Amino acid sequence: MNATVEQWGVFALERRGPSSGNPFTEVAFGARFRHQHREVDVDGFYDGEGIYRVRFMPDTQGEWHYQTRSNRQEMGGESGMFTCVAPSEHNHGPVRVHNTWHFAYADGTPHVSVGTTCYAWAHQGDELEEQTLDTLERSPFNKMRMCLFPKHYPFNQNEPQFLPYQRGEDGEWDFSRFDPEFFRHFERRVQQLGDLGIEADIILFHPYDHWGFASMPAEADDHYLRYLIARLAAYRHVWWSMANEFDLMQAKSELDWDRYFRIVQKCDPYQHLRSVHNCRGFYDHGKPWVTHQSIQHSDLTRVSEWRQTYRKPVVVDECRYEGNIEHMWGNITAQEMVHRFWLGTIGGGYVGHGETYLHPQDILWWSKGGVLQGDSPARIDFLRRILEKEAPEGLDPISREGASKGEAYYLYYFGVAQPARFRLSLPQDRAYRLEIIDTWRMTIAPVEGTFSGRFLVDLPGKPYHALQARQVEG
């Protein structure tokens, strides 16, 4: 019977093979997939207990043929086929860069990136992890930053149930042998994000470690990257982030980061989005293997500058967190968080959320997930709905306080300023309707009449307001 897989879904092969020795390093397994005259080579992986798997994401409808390959005769040379059918309703394919500074899914549907951070949520046990997923289902967020390696840091001192490597007879980590149970658990959480329509921005390395995973030798790093890509790349909603705060990882050099990018670029058949996140100094986002900028910075007025410098999408994944902890990076108000989202939007970029409110069991959203306590998510959702309705393909900055979608739509944000009047300059040959937006109270009030050319408009004279101008049709 001919198997069917939807476009941008996952076709999976499972084969039995040797379990003796070290299958992670001694056995090669993969497959070549062919559609008409196009061929795609895909690496497989060992999943423990003598099981080898290949996962493939077909991006073109029609018949696909495959043939397995291996350095073990019993696992290579097997042929088969499947049919790739039309995608289901909510399957738009992987996210790509669109129009230089923005994002869209593979089918052309715009992606307005509204992310959040839960670094170690997938290492907290079933009860808390399921609670996090339930919270996400009711949240405005469509991207989640998450670490593959567990994290050891203030408010995150608990030992995870699963760890990525097996131990040798001497009790030390054997970086040549993965623990498949860890990866099965992690990829299940990744799949569940996809079921919710949330992009999984997977952080490959980070400095907050006491197991030794942040300082593995180069060959172990490379082996890990290839294994992870083989396991996860077939999921359409995966993004790759080389690191959280790459510049704090003293065991790694700039050449290491270049090498990691090139490995991911070479081994990922689907070319998912690739970035790296900083603490103080920026990586050179102009390098060809970087698809978009992942930035930590508190000055959101610089987004338009970063756009022009690297000519790639800007995602300020960390602009500090709404919360009340003692660290300055984790105690801004909800109103300040919302303010920063609007500033980044007007700059032509995208902004990420995070939350760090004290909790008696140290369950802070930014690290462990759980439930959201803050007041910013509802206001972020309000902004997302405006953007998805008025400018889903992205805004481009036109002034310090303004951005537009061509001449069809203009958005101005005044932040902490409180002008009672504002001089607008719109195309003379078109008519526009104006609306005043209260970004905190989440209201939109129309201004009577239609407008064009250069004129003054009355405003509330209060902070955190915006003004939108929409072209009148007809």
Q: Is the dihedral of CA 277, 283, 284, 289 positive or negative?
A: negative
Report the pLDDT value the prediction gives residue 473, as an integer from 0 to 100: 83
Give the end of a domain, one of 27, 61, 85: 85
How many whole angstroms separate alpha carbon 15 and alpha carbon 31? 12
Residue found by looking up tokens 């949520």 in the block = 121
**Are 277 and 137 part of one and the same domain?**
yes
With 0-12 CB in 10 A as exposed, 13-18 as middle and 19+ as buried, what is 98? middle
Which amino acid is it at 400?
A: R
CA angle 230, 231, 234 (to 5 degrees): 80
**Are 14 and 104 part of one and the same domain?**
no
Domain containing residue 344: CATH number = 3.20.20.80
pLDDT average per 10 residues of sequence, the chain (474 residues): 91 96 98 97 98 98 98 94 97 98 98 98 98 98 98 95 95 97 98 98 98 98 98 98 97 97 98 97 97 98 97 98 97 98 98 98 98 98 98 96 97 98 96 98 97 97 98 86
pTM for the full predicted model? 0.97
Report the pLDDT value the prediction gives residue 319, as an integer from 0 to 100: 98
* Residue 162, in any domain of the structure: yes
Domain containing residue 72: CATH number = 2.60.40.10
Report the pLDDT value the prediction gives residue 1, as an integer from 0 to 100: 57
Give the end of a domain, one of 366, 396, 426: 396
How many whole angstroms separate alpha carbon 117 and alpha carbon 372? 12
**Are 418 and 381 part of one and the same domain?**
no
Give the end of a domain, one of 396, 423, 454: 396
Q: Which domain holds residue 223?
A: 95-396
Report the pLDDT value the prediction gives residue 54, as an integer from 0 to 100: 98
Q: How many domains does the chain have?
A: 3
